[in-house]
A and B are shown apart, each in its own frame.
Chain A
Amino acid sequence: MASRRNPSFNNPKPCPHLSSYREKHGLSGYESLQKSLRSSPSGRTVLSRLQSTNPTCSSCPNTSIGRLYFCLICSSISCPSHAASHSLSFPGHDISVDVERAELFCLSCADQVYDPDFDSAVVAAAAKILHPPLRRRRRKPLLMLLPPPVAMSSFRGIRTALRHPWGLRGLNNLGNTCFMNSVLQALLHTPPLRNYFLGDHHKRDVCRQRRRRRGALAVAGGGEGPCLACVVEGVFLDVFSGDRKPYSPARFLYSWWKHSSNLSGYEQQDAHEFFISILDKIHDKELSGFNSKGIVDCHCIAHSVFSGILRSDITCTVCGFTSTTYDPCVDIPVDLETVYNTDKSASPADKTRLSTLAGSLDLFTRPEKLGSDQKLYCQNCRVKQESVKQMSIRRLPLVLCFHVKRFAHSVIRRTSKKLDQYMQFPFSLDMTPYLSSSIIRNRFGNRIFAFEGDESDLSGEISSEFEVFAVVTHSGRLDSGHYVTYLRLRNQWYKCDDAWITEVREEVVRALQGYMIYYVQKVLYHRSGEERVIPGTGCF
C-alpha cells in the first residue's frame, strides 16, 4: 500500500518497538484492522468489533470504559494499568491500538506513536476514498514580479532618493478623494504590482492595437481612451519619478470615471469598493481561463497578484457526504470578533479577551452549522438536509488584502453604525492554519495523509508566510470620516495622509484600527527591500 507522505509533516522517528513490529509484520496488522474501524457519532474513527459484549481489559474485566489498548499481535485488550505487563509477559507484543481513538500506542514506551501507513489505513477506511493521484503543478511565470532591472531609461536623477524610500510621495486630495488616495498608496507600494508596472510589463502598444482592433467602442461621452492599466502605469512612473512634491492623480480619477458606468461615479466613496473597482478595471478578460480543475484562473496582473482561491465544503449532517466548491477571491472579509467587556472598570491588562485577526480567521474557517431554514440539497440523500459549512483557503495569493468589516447594519432600525473596536493584527502572519490542507487534515484527525487539496499549497512555490506592508485606516463616523494609509518601507513606517508624509513609530501602527490590511509574501517583501544603487549615478 503506497502512501503519499506529506512533506510538511515531521515524519516522526518510530520507536524501536514500532520498527521491529513493522519489520516482522509489515502492514498486515493494519490492513486487518480496517474492517473493524467505525465512525463514532462525534466523527472520530474508533475501533469496534460487532460483538455482543463491550470490550474489556483481559486482566481486570470490571473496567469497561476508559482507555483500552488492543494488541495488534494477539488481539488481547489491556487497560492502562495492565498495559505494561502485557508487553512484559509477551515479548514482542508492544504495539497496540487505542480503541477509542484509533491511535497506535506502544505498550513498552507507554506513549502514542505514529506510522504514516497506519494513518493511511485509517483514513482509507474511514473516508472510503482511494489515494488521490499526485497532480503535476504548473509553474507560473513569476519573473515579471521580481524587481525591475536596475537601469531604467525613464528614471530621472534623484538627489534625496538615498535618504528616503523610492516612490514615497504624497497624493493631493482632489476634493473628498482620500478614499482613492489611501488605496493608491497601498497599490503603489505593493511589491509585485510595482515591479510589474515599473518594469514596463504592461504593453501600451499592445493595448493600443487591441483597441483599434475592437474598433472605437463609443461609451456615451466618446470612447474610453487608454485602458486603465495604461493610466495606472502612468501613475507609477510619475510617483516613482523622484519628484517629492505631492502628486495629483487627476488624470487617473478622470480615467477611472470614464471607465465607470454613469451610475457609479462619485458614489463609490468606500476605499474597499474603490479597490475592487480598480482591480476589476485593470483585469484583462483576455488572460482569463480555467485551470485543470475547472476553477477560474486569470493571469492578468491584478489577479496574479491578488487572487486566491477559497474552498467551501458543505457537509450533510445526515449522511456525511461533502460537496466542495472553489471560488476565486481578491480579498478576505474579516468579521470582528465580539468581545464582551462586562467589566468596564478593568484596566486594559485585565481584559483577557482581545479581538485579533487570527481569531477572526479562526471564525472564518470554523465549521458553521447552517440553520434549519437553510437546508441545502445533498446529492447522496437526494433531499435538502441540514448542513455544516466550512471555508478554507485553497490557494493563497501573492498579496493578501484583509477587509475588516467595521459596520453593523440593523435591518429593523435601518441604521448602520461603525465599529471602532480594536483588532490586533500581527506584522508577520502565518496562514498555514487556514489553508484547505490544514483544515481538511484536521477534520480527519490530523492523520499523515496527502488529502486532496494538499498538493498546491505546500510545494513551496507559494509559501504561507506573509509580512504586512500597508494599513488603510478610517477614522470618524460612517457618514463623515477620513482615510489614511500607513506604509512599511525598508522597515520604517510612514503615515500617508493625502499630501502629508511623515514617519511614525512601529507602536503607532500596532495600535491602529485597521480597515484594510495588506500583507505580501515574506519572500517578496524582503526582496523588495533590497534596493541597489548604480555606482556613480546615485540612481537605484
Chain B
Amino acid sequence: MSASDDGSSSPRSQLCSQVFGDLLDSIIVDAASECHRIARLGLDRNLEEEEEELRLSAQARVADPSSSSDGNSKNMVDIFGQTHPAIASEIFDCMNCGRPIVAGRFAPHLEKCMGKGRKARQKTTRSTTMAQSRNSRGSPISVYAPYSTANSINRVPNGGSSASAEYKDYAFDEP
C-alpha cells in the first residue's frame, strides 16, 4: 500500500499501513457504491450526449477562432437578396409629434420628443445598483415578492451599431 520500503516493517508501521489501507478502501467503496446505485437506478447523466456536445463545440472553436461572423456584414446582400444602408432610411411619422422621421434617427428624436431626455433622468449610480444585490443566485427571499428579476447589476449598455459614432449628443455614460 504505502511505500514504506525503507526496510522498517515494524509492527507499528505495519499497523499504520493497514489502517491507511482500510481507510482508502473505505473511500473507494463509498464512491463505487454511490456510482453503482446511480447507474443501476438509471440516474446517471447522459454522458455520451454531453461529450458529443463538448466535442462539437471544441471542433467549432478550432475551425472558427476569430468569430468571422462579426465581420462587417453591412455591405453584403442578405438572404432575401436585399442590401441596406448603414442607417435605416425608411421614413415614417412620429407617433408623438407627427413629423416624418428617418428610421435610423427615430430613437434619439423620440427621446427628446417625449421628454425622456437625459436631463430629466435621475441616474442610478452603480453603487446603488450593486448595493441592492449582494446575493446573486436566484431571486429574492420573500415568497410573496412580485416577479422581480434576479438582480440588476449586470447591464451591458449600448444598443448601437457601428453608425453610432455620428450621434455626438449620445455619448452614453458608463452605467
Contacts and interface: CB of A to CB of B under 8 A. Distances in A.
Given A10-B40, A254-B110, A478-B156, 17 more contacts: A67-B29, A176-B107, A176-B164, A246-B88, A250-B103, A327-B143, A332-B150, A409-B130, A416-B174, A424-B53, A427-B53, A428-B49, A430-B45, A441-B43, A479-B174, A499-B88, A507-B60
B75 to A, nearest CB: 10
A519 interface: no
B37 A446 contact: yes
A248 B106 contact: yes
Interface string B32-52: 011011101111011001100
Interface stretch (A167-175, A186-194, A453-461): A167-175
Interface in A500-516: 500-504, 506-512, 515
A480 interface: yes
Interface string A246-265: 10101101100110001101
B129 to A, nearest CB: 9
Given A329-B150, A403-B150, A112 B156 contact: no
Nearest to A475: B70
- Residue with the highest number of chain A CB atoms closer than 10 Å, among B79, B105, B118: B79
B84 A499 contact: yes
Interface of B: 19, 22-23, 25-26, 29-30, 33-34, 36-38, 40-43, 45-46, 49-50, 53-54, 56-65, 67-70, 73-74, 76, 78-80, 82, 84, 87-88, 90, 92, 95-96, 103-111, 114-116, 118, 120-124, 126-127, 130, 136-147, 149-164, 167, 170, 172, 174-175
A391 to B, nearest CB: 5
B36 A112 contact: yes
Interface stretch (A24-32, A131-139, A140-148, A269-277): A269-277
A372 interface: no
**Nearest 9 A/B pairs, CB to CB:** A265-B116, A179-B159, A175-B107, A270-B155, A510-B60, A172-B88, A10-B42, A507-B60, A426-B53
A349 B62 CA distance: 9
A426 B50 contact: yes
A232 interface: no
A271 B160 CA distance: 12
Nearest to B116: A265
Nearest to A376: B141
Nearest to A374: B135
Interface size class of A (residues with CB under 8 A): 35 or more
B95 A254 contact: yes
Given A65-B22, A273-B152, A508-B69, A248 B174 contact: no
Contacts of B45: 430, 432-433
A478 B164 contact: no
A283 B147 contact: yes
Contacts of B130: 409, 411
Contacts of A65: 19, 22-23, 26
B107 A174 contact: yes
Contacts of A103: 33, 37
Contacts of A332: 150
A294 interface: yes
Given A424-B54, A511-B64, A269 B143 contact: no
Nearest to B38: A446
Interface stretch (A209-217, A490-498, A523-531): A490-498
29 contacts: A9-B41, A101-B33, A164-B79, A164-B80, A173-B159, A173-B160, A175-B109, A178-B159, A221-B114, A245-B82, A248-B88, A250-B110, A263-B121, A265-B116, A266-B118, A267-B123, A272-B155, A296-B147, A310-B139, A327-B145, A354-B54, A426-B50, A432-B45, A445-B34, A481-B158, A495-B69, A497-B74, A510-B59, A511-B61
